[in-house]
Amino acid sequence: MEAIILVGGFGTRLRPLTLTVPKPLLPLANIPMVERMIRNLPEIFDTAILAVNYGLNDMRKYFEGRDIGKKVIIVPEEEPLGTGGAMRNCIDYVTGTTAVFNGDVVSSINLNEMLEQHIKTKAKGTLALWKVKDPSRFGVVEFSNGEILQFQEKPEKGSELSNLINAGTYLLELEILEMIPPNQKISIERDIYPKVAGNGLHGFPFEGYFIDSGTPESYLEANFKSIGNNGTASHTGASIRGSVMIHEDAKLEHCIIGPNVIIGPKVKLEKCVIRNSVILSNVNSYGTVIEDSIIGPNIQVKNDIKQNLISPEGKIAF
């Protein structure tokens, strides 16, 4: 069974970081986002199809000769085709019911349960649904007896049909992929799903967590969530506080690290205090305090930093 992962976007909200590293190859707890997603697929999915535009060469280079336990097929788009067009572009590689993921979603969806529901209800499509407190910033669905009846974009307070939003994870029958016109820029959310609403489009509400890791704040949150139970309990060069992950190729001396810190490979830190931050590969620093920030790769940090994204192409405060 195949899973299509949409990994072709420009990742504009994470610029300047994504000018040098495409978003799907940015690490979450030291493993590239897209690799983590493939590794987390249930066993029934033996093939991951990556729909790629921006970052194609980097993606090819990354997966060349790398065994991550599933077959990986990279499907290039000459022009960005949007979420729907990108799925349609993969149709030759799918054999039946297909899972589709937005490549930047980190969530607690139980895909096996979702698949069981999808099969039992004989749905044409099943969309994972996440409950939000304030739906006015999102598109919500009208949801009744397990079915999605209509979509409502950014509803005004009091007029919302529900507080359930599309969580970017789908199970689709070929019939839906075939509805997408080929070789055109198409949004599955805006151009296709509204046409199927009320006619075999089902919802799978889930609880736990849902993070679209596409902004600096949510990229940090997704990283901290991804540490899970694999954190570093102790380290000779650092006093560790709370949930922390330190790559084995990092060198730390007299540092205070945590809570919520991820340190990548080839990082060298001496007399630094790091909190709530992601330090990407090959970052050097001496005597600084780094908080609530994303740093790297290949950066020397000379001053204290708070709530900044610093990459080789420039920096932003967030």
Report the SS3 class of residue 170: strand
- From CA 215, how far away is CA 227, in angstroms rounded? 18
Measure the CA dihedral 77/78/80/86, to 10°: -20
Chain residues 188-227 in contact with ligand GTP, contact rule CB under 6 A: 214
Q: Which of 4, 7, 201, 295 binds ligand GTP (CB under 6 A)?
A: 7
Half-sphere exposure at residue 184, Cβ-oriented, CA atoms within 13 angstroms: 10
d(CA 191, CA 189): 6
Q: In the set 8, 32, 125, 297, which binds ligand GTP (CB under 6 A)? A: 8
Stretch binding ligand GTP (CB under 6 A), from 62-70, 101-109, 125-133, 173-181: 101-109
Closest Cα partner for 199 from 232, 150, 165, 233?
150
* Active-site residue flag, 154: yes
Task: Check 61, 71, 120, 154 and give the catalytic one.
Answer: 154
Using CB under 6 A, pick the residue from 2, 13, 264, 290 that binds ligand GTP.
13
Stretch that binds ligand GTP, among 10-18, 153-161, 229-237, 262-270 (CB under 6 A): 10-18
Q: For the segment 40-99, give every residue that binds ligand GTP (CB under 6 A).
A: 51-53, 77, 80-83, 86
11 touches ligand GTP by CB under 6 A = yes
Q: Residue 277: what residue type?
A: S
Are 126 and 202 contacting, i.e. CB atoms less than 8 angstroms apart? yes
Active site residues: 154
Binding site residues, ligand GTP, CB under 6 A: 6-13, 23, 51-53, 77, 80-83, 86, 102-104, 214
